[in-house]
Amino acid sequence: MFKEFNIDNLENSRNDLELLLTSSKEKIDELLKIEEKSYENFVKPYEEVGESIGDFVTPIFHIDSVKNSEITQKVYEECLPLISNYETEISQNDNIYRSLKDIQDNSNISLNDIQKKVLENEIRDFKLSGCHLNNEKKETLKELNLKLSELSHKFSQNLLNATNAYEMIIEDFEDVKEIPKSDLELASFEEDGKIKYKFTLQMPSYLAYITYGTSREKREEIYKAYTTRAPENGKIIEEILKLKDEMVKILGFKNYASYSLATKMAKDEQDVVSFLEELALKAKNRALEEIDELKEYAKEDGISDIKSFDLSYYSEKLKKEKYDLDEEFYRPYFEQDSVLNGFFNFLNEVFNIKFTKTEASAWDKNAKVYDISEDGKTIARIFIDLEARKEKRGGAWMNNWHSYYIDKDGQEHLPTAYIVCNFPQSSDTTPSLLRHSDVVTLFHEMGHALHHLLSKVPEAMVSGISGVAWDVVEFPSQFLEYFAYDKEVLKLFAKHYETKEILSDEAIDKIIKAKNFQSSLATLRQVEFALFDFKLHQKLYTSEEKIQILLDGIREKYAAITPPSYNKFQNGFSHIFGGGYAAGYYSYKWAEVLSADAFYMFIDSGKVLNKELAIKYKDTILKNGGSKDMDKLFYELTSRNPSVDSLLKIDGIIS
């Protein structure tokens, strides 16, 4: 039923991939020979060729992110040119394009809406790939795509190498005395008969010191190490921007931003800029009040010139004082297994889906595998890998492996996906104890996963997250986050791992009250990132200096506090230089408007655990995947257009 995760033959992947791609080309050539092409005899088998390639390639690229080694890097670098060249060749094949166009023109009356959507998307993407261009330009695009893929991977690898290369050793207990016990246990080691403490740039370790580290000097040291990682990425960014600009000019676009919007819900560049500026305008005054409050608080500690490396430390102290909220108090209540099991119970209660642990193979002993069933029938599989490791790329993400679809023979294929996070590690003496923010992250990534796994769209190209516009793909993930602040939901899994005591109403109320602590600052920070990304792709910036001037100008206008000049945030901005968010980082806020407005349906119903509404959301948004535009699905769900004010209200920025 499900394909096992197996990379035993990893080192031979290049040869296997070459054979697969050769076979795939031959199958497509055979399809192109069909005289009377139809959706069933051409598009369906063509779609299945793409699925078979994704089936093979996804684990190879995935293992490089979660168990990075010299072997995985070598295999990745061997396979990348093969898959990049293949994808470019296929996407520029004018015969496939014309075949799809003919089917669209000749069979339009007999096609259903989902099939029409498949053809609409595919034909658009062929045009965006340059299938209409002459051979010389196609060859240039092929070279550009390969170079961009290689540079993107190099950017991410540099960041991982830099993250793993740094450690800060502390010998004086005074410098770590405020750090929570569970974090301190993970940091401590014995050397020369003395207990010392090691902090790294792995996110759980970095957060532990930047948030609780007593020594201001050490906080700056680790902050500086984090914000100056991979300086060589500066030159890679220059090259990426140059190649992207060259690529879109060949395709007839004035800049990369307009090219990016061709596949998104936002209609034009000004819509995006105006949206972000509106958010900034509505959040800035409150954000300045929040930073002033923090400055006044820090003065009590003798800090008259609060800096970026002080923000987490004093924000945590201020939050604790204002809301009597101690993050460390909560962590024993959020033991990883307890959270997962309770989370599954919640999902069963609202969406009528059941998670059953299976002994299927994965890539690490800490990666768990679950089959998902609905009404007693197995419908999907999910791999969940939550703990930080040195060989794992930072951050958290969902990656789809297989899509749900029904093949040309009527056979049903079930979807699979991975969730990867970097939560605190377990040790021999202590299980993995999460922060509430980690719980929120888990809900977020599961929102993405369910969007893919609960699809019932029979066409793979628009099933699950496939075919979903990038600026609304965050809607289901952000929507699910809101439930991580609901009292009834938290009581399903917030149990002390030793005493089994359920987290009290009073303690949960503190989490809920503190939810919007510094929410305006957080909004401004996201706007800063999004505007930088979008403006960076509106014209060609040719040097590190010019890129820095752009970022500095945005910070001057929108940032509530200016970071130190050594902060080279852009060199670690993997979302846009190592991932798929170039000229699309605004999507987080754009989609958040949908998620906030949709969640208000539950609030207005008077019951957040509203099963009837949850099933409607599942049937309308999740099951339809990318088969309809999200603005249409949203209207089907809510009978209204989304409002920015819903987001501002839910974040406490306006009342």
DSSP per residue, 358-421: E----SSTTEEEEEEEETTEEEEEEEEEEE--TTS-SS-EEEEEE--EE-TTS-EE--EEEEEE
User: Are 578 and 149 in contact, with CB atoms under 8 Å apart?
Assistant: no
Residue showing tokens 């939901």: 489
Q: Which residue has the tokens 């800063």?
A: 528
pLDDT category at 159 given cuts 50, 70, 90 is very high
pLDDT at 333 over 90: yes
Q: Which of 414, 421, 375, 379 is nearest to 399 (CA)?
A: 421
Q: What is the DSSP string of 517-533?
A: TTHHHHHHHHHHHHHHH
Which residue in this structure is represented by tokens 């090219």? 259
What residues have CB less than 8 Å from 52, skipping those under 6 apart?
A: 20, 24
Which residues, including other chains, have CB under 8 Å from residue 341's CB and lie 6 or more apart?
493
Determine the pLDDT at residue 134.
95
Q: pLDDT tens for residues 164-204?
A: 999 999 999 999 999 998 899 999 999 999 999 999 999 99
pLDDT of residue 655: 82
Q: What is the pLDDT of residue 28?
A: 98
Structure tokens at 580: 């798929």
Q: Give residue 419's pLDDT.
A: 98
Vertex 596 angle, CA 594 and 600, to 5°: 115
Confidence of residue 385 (pLDDT cuts 50, 70, 90): very high
Other beta carbons within 10 angstroms of residue 232's beta carbon come to 13
Mean pLDDT of 580-585: 96
The helix (run of H) or strand (run of E) holding residue 356 is strand 353-358
pLDDT for 328 beyond 90: no
* pLDDT (mean) for 554-571: 95
Between the two ends of the chain, the Cα-to-Cα distance in Å is 51
pLDDT for res 429: 84
What tens digit of pLDDT does each residue of 97-124 get? 999 999 999 988 999 999 999 999 999 9
Task: List domains and CATH numbers for the chain.
Answer: 10-91+93-132 (1.20.1050.40), 166-227 (no CATH)
The whole-number pLDDT of residue 569 equals 96
> What mean pLDDT is reported for the chain?
96
pTM > 0.85: yes or no: yes
3-state SS, residue 371:
strand
Among all residues, which ones are annotated catalytic? 445
Q: What is the pLDDT of residues 222-259, one digit of tens each?
A: 999 999 999 999 999 999 999 999 999 999 999 999 99
Residue 206, token pair as written in the block:
């970095």
Q: What's the pLDDT score for residue 327?
A: 83
Helix (H, G, I), strand (E, B) or coil at 610: coil
Q: What is the per-residue pLDDT across 270-305, written as a single tens digit (0 to 9) for each?
A: 999 999 999 999 999 999 999 999 999 999 999 999
DSSP string, 547-585: HHHHHHHHHHHH-SSPPPTT--GGGG-HHHHTSS-TTTT
Residue 145 has pLDDT above 90, yes or no: yes
Closest to 532 in 3D by CA, of 522, 520, 541: 541
- State how far the Cα of 136 lies from the Cα of 129, in Å rounded to an integer: 14
Q: With 90 as the cut, is the pLDDT of residue 89 above it?
A: yes
Which residue, 303, 330, 329, is CA-closest to 315?
Answer: 303
Instruction: Quote the tokens at residue 631.
Output: 């603005």
| Rounded CA separation 253/246 (Å) | 10
* Helix pair 587-604, 519-536: axis angle to 10 deg: 140
| pLDDT band, very low/low/confident/very high, at 428 (cuts 50, 70, 90) | confident
- SS3 call for 430: coil
pLDDT of residue 225: 98
CA 160 from chain centre, in angstroms, equals 17
pLDDT of residue 211: 97
Region 588-598 average pLDDT: 96
